[in-house]
Amino acid sequence: MRIPLSSPDITESEIQAVGRVLRTPRLSLGPKLEEFEEAVAAYTGAEHAVAVNSGTSGLHLCIRALRIGPGDEVILPSLTFVAAANAVCYERAVPVFVDVEAKTLNLDPAKIEAAITPRTRAILVVHTFGCPADLSRILGIARQHRLRVIEDACEALGAEHAGRKVGPLGNAGVFAFYPNKQITTGEGGMIVTQDAGVATVARALRNQGRSQAGEWLEHGELGYNYRLSEINCALGVEQMKRVESILEKREAVAREYHRRLNGNSDLELPPLEVPGGRISWFVYVVRLGARFRQQQRDWIWREMASHGIGCGRYFAPIHWQPIYRDLAGPRPDLANTEWSAVRSLALPFFNKLQPAEIDEVCCTLQELIRVVPPDMVHPH
């Protein structure tokens, strides 16, 4: 693509930092791991941070560390990446999907209590596209019903709710550092928590169940190889040094998109701000208006690609995935989820996206909206 959907922002200093690690004998579980964990903990206000090899691994270890297991129900949105539900199912727990708010696309607090049953153990909150969820209300519901809260902040490093960074506000939270994220380690994730017990269990589980006090060949838990290498952590340390400037650049791109597209009655734009919070811009997702259907959205997506412009269809609801037709628990009404899913289009979004590229994306999109065939049928 001439204008890709995403592009990592790597500087020469970061390349040199990775090179320095390669000149040492320590490529795993070394000082860069500790430095990266300390940097993320300090930035987010967490007491503990545990680096892992992906956001998915982090979510899985949160489920395990909070002792959520077979038959337990976990409430979460369906309008998100499939990894959130997969992490629940890894432990043979049951995902229960609840609808999202129409504006923010975050889990709707007003819909949660109706989904709670005697088997409910946790709420998995996703900060969708970097927009902070309404944690005050969700944490209040969790306290009332004695539920755990896991924050899927994989798309939301730096986002804030009520003046505090998201991630460690529930029982545990997870960030991810895939190349399309705000900062990247290539592959990688980070668990953050205020609970020393959760952190201790997560550290053991990521390293084949070894406790920090035990021998290398002594395994006290059924663990995994979820370690993050020193190479990845060196990149993460350098990226964290400029995380705020990265977030500012991404916000500037979002505001430019808003300026160019605002006023088009066929588009619903994401909110630029949330009351008392801060959006950490992961992607810029627009929704087509009510007269459009999925096939028309997909036609626009294909035509944008033919012009060399990468776009994404975020997200296909998890409850529409073939594997979840049988694995998921009860499904309340998911009207906002399904309405948004067939009309959403993620536009190119990355730190170094240029004004001329934004202009081309916006002009091409609006022209395609104008000429899209009107007689396509919605397949759902």
The candidate with the shortest Cα–Cα distance to 63, out of 226, 183, 188, 265, is: 226
| Residue 219 and residue 88 share a domain | yes
CATH number at 326 reads 3.90.1150.10
| Predicted model pTM | 0.95
The whole-number pLDDT of residue 376 equals 66
Percent helix, percent strand, percent coil in the chain, to nearest 5: 40, 15, 45
Q: What does the angle CA 80 – CA 208 – CA 203 come to, to the nearest 5 degrees?
A: 65
Tokens of residue 327, six digits: 């694995």
The β-bridge partners of 268 are 287
Write the burial class of residue 34 (CB in 10 Å: 0-12 exposed, 13-18 middle, 19+ buried): middle
Is 41 part of a structural domain of the chain? yes
1 occurs within a structural domain: no
Q: Does 232 lie in the same domain as 254?
A: no
Q: Is the dihedral of CA 103, 81, 64, 243 positive or negative?
A: negative
With bands split at pLDDT 50, 70 and 90, how would you rate the model's confidence at 327?
Answer: confident
232 in the same domain as 194: yes
Q: Is 117 helix (H, G, I), strand (E, B) or coil?
A: coil
Same domain, 50 and 145: yes
> Same domain for 197 and 262?
no
- What is the three-state SS of 203-262? HHHHECCCCCCCCCCCCCCCCCECCCEHHHHHHHHHHHCCHHHHHHHHHHHHHHHHHHHC
Torsion, Cα 156 162 165 171, to 10 degrees, reads -90
Contacts of residue 160, defined as CB under 8 A and 6 or more positions apart, other chains included, come to 132, 166, 277, 278
Active-site option among 111, 181, 241, 352: 181
Q: Over the stretch 204-219, which tens digit does the pLDDT of each residue have? A: 999 999 987 777 788 8
Percentage of the chain lying above the pLDDT 70 cut = 99
Q: How many domains does the chain have?
A: 2
Phi, psi dihedrals of residue 96, rounded to the nearest 5°? -120, 115
pLDDT tens figures, 53-63: 999 999 999 99
In a domain? residue 379: no
- Asked whether residue 215 falls in the same domain as residue 281, the answer is no
Domain presence at residue 139: yes
Please state the rounded mean pLDDT for residues 90-115.
97
Whether the per-residue pLDDT at 360 is higher than 70: the answer is yes
Its domain, for residue 340, covers 243-371
| Whether 111 is catalytic | no
Chain segment 20-68, per-residue pLDDT in tens: 999 999 999 999 999 999 999 999 999 999 999 999 999 999 999 999 9
CA dist 104 and 107 (Å) reads 9
Given 240, 270, 294, the domain boundary residue is 240
Q: Residue 248: what pLDDT? A: 98
Asked whether residue 329 carries a pLDDT value surpassing 90, the answer given is no
